[in-house]
Amino acid sequence: MRGTATGYFGPVTFQAVRAFQGAYVVPSTGFVGPLTRNVIKDLMNTSPEVGAEKFEGIITAYSTSCFADGECSITVDGK
């Protein structure tokens, strides 16, 4: 999924998160909760496998914020 960074969690981000969750067998809620954050952390701490699907860009940092209702958002910086 390609798009331009907008700085907010809109419908394009929601769909991208759902696609990511589906690819990594996380419940596809569209929101970044503890399970999704753990997958992201694991991916950031591993080397790419030979022959693995190529993803454009590199995540250089991320932060999450959670609200009282349990919904969380993620901000990603990359290149």
Q: Is residue 21 part of a domain?
A: yes
Residue 37: is its pLDDT beyond 80? yes
Q: Is the pTM of this model over 0.75?
A: no
Taking all residues of the chain, what is their mean pLDDT, rounded to a whole number?
A: 74
User: Range of 35's domain?
Assistant: 11-44+56-78
Backbone φ and ψ of 66, nearest 5°: -120, 145
CB of 58 within 8 A of CB of 77?
Answer: no
CA-based end-to-end distance of the chain: 16
Q: Is residue 2 part of a domain?
A: no
Lowest mean pLDDT, pick from 42-46, 53-57, 71-75: 53-57
- pLDDT per position as a tens digit, 47-62: 666 555 555 555 555 5
CA 12, CA 14: separation in Å to the nearest integer? 5
Q: How many domains does the chain have?
A: 1
